[in-house]
Amino acid sequence: MGSVPASDLRGDYKGAAPDFSVEQNWHNYTAEEHALYRRLFERQSKLVPRYACAEWIDAIGALDAAHEIPRFDAISRKLKSKTGWEIVAVPGLIPDDAFFSHLANRRFPITVWLRKPEEFDYIVEPDVFHDFFGHVPLLSDPTYADHLYEYGKGGLKAMRLDAITMLARLYWYTIEFGLMQTEAGTRAYGAGLLSSGGELAYCVDDPKPRRLPFDLERVMRTEYRIDRYQDTYFVIDSFEHLMRETAPDFTPIYARIRSLPTFAADAA
């Protein structure tokens, strides 16, 4: 989500197009960067069989992205034939309107740059590893892919309705930090979990955080913290369930809940 002022961001926004896209310039990545990406990929690969949802696990292999920072055009060709999605390179976080417009056209913006070695365990802004490993595999899943497209259109609508704060909480607690109840147990599908060395096990195994059944209005009223592991997760049954719960027109929902009190991230 792009509500951070560009001056605080570390990407290079000068050469970006009006839609904030840039060339990936894949040949400019160094051997050290490819190696760092590979180490990140290897660490997460040890965790995902136990903690990721089956849809993510089913999708990652076909992307053939374990050895080096992927070429976005090759990935887009694969996604396009499956769900109509493509990925576009961006300098980093982008403004809400540009972000929603990309999603509403089945384009997922991916940060071009990779974190530094000293950020192996934790990074504040999304980088290419988070964006790719966390977000891209699920774009091969037809239901997830359709849901994210609907979310993009819903974002443009929420801007007109001055409801971005409520819709951003939905994104946070689903696309970034969502859990799914499966036959194998609780599993992660949120990108911020899938790409995290520490939170991926924490979100499933640790007794501390609350894991609430998905409740649209509760989600839209729940604040979140961006600087530590989540206190609260919301659990869906399936992507069909998420699709169904988010299908209603949000206009009357926004109107009804915008003046209700919010829940703190760690509210009991």
**Site residues (CB under 5 A) for Co ion?**
126, 191
Closest distance between ligand PHE and the C-beta of residue 189, in Å? Answer: 14
Closest distance between ligand PHE and the C-beta of residue 175, in Å? Answer: 9
Closer Cβ to ligand PHE, 129 or 239, answer by number: 239
250 binds, among ligand PHE, Co ion, none (CB under 5 to 8 A by kind): ligand PHE
- Residue 193 neighbours by CB under 8 Å, 6+ apart: 51, 134, 176, 177, 178, 179, 199, 200, 203
Closer Cβ to ligand PHE, 48 or 168, answer by number: 168
CA–CA separation, 26 and 101 (whole Å): 25
CB atoms within 10 A of CB 197: 14
Among 41, 157, 58, 33, residue whose Cα is nearest residue 103? 157
Among 152, 192, 148, 187, residue whose Cα is nearest residue 172? 192
196 binds, among Co ion, ligand PHE, none (CB under 5 to 8 A by kind): none
191 binds, among ligand PHE, Co ion, none (CB under 5 to 8 A by kind): Co ion
38 binds, among ligand PHE, Co ion, none (CB under 5 to 8 A by kind): none
CB–CB of 101/6 below 8 Å?
Answer: no
Closer Cβ to Co ion, 33 or 131, answer by number: 131
213 binds, among Co ion, ligand PHE, none (CB under 5 to 8 A by kind): none
Closer Cβ to Co ion, 126 or 155, answer by number: 126
Q: Which residue is nearest to ligand PHE (CB)?
A: 154
Closer Cβ to Co ion, 191 or 216, answer by number: 191
Closer Cβ to Co ion, 152 or 254, answer by number: 152
| Interface residues toward ligand PHE, by CB under 6 A | 147, 150-151, 154, 157, 170, 246-250
CA–CA separation, 260 and 146 (whole Å): 30
Q: Which residue is nearest to Co ion (CB)?
A: 191
CA–CA separation, 160 and 199 (whole Å): 35
Closest distance between Co ion and the C-beta of residue 249, in Å? Answer: 26
Task: Enter the tokens of residue 134.
Answer: 């966390």
Closest distance between Co ion and the C-beta of residue 172, in Å? Answer: 9
Question: In this structure, what DSSP letter does residue 67 have?
Answer: S
Alpha helices per DSSP H over the chain = 31-51, 54-63, 72-83, 96-104, 128-129, 142-160, 164-171, 191-194, 199-205, 216-220, 239-246, 251-257
Closest distance between ligand PHE and the C-beta of residue 253, in Å? Answer: 8
Closer Cβ to Co ion, 179 or 257, answer by number: 179
Closest distance between ligand PHE and the C-beta of residue 119, in Å? Answer: 31
Closest distance between Co ion and the C-beta of residue 268, in Å? Answer: 28
How many angstroms separate the Cα of 126 from the Cα of each of 63, 112, 167, 263? 20, 10, 19, 26
Query: Which SS3 state, helix, strand or coil, does residue 110 take?
Result: strand
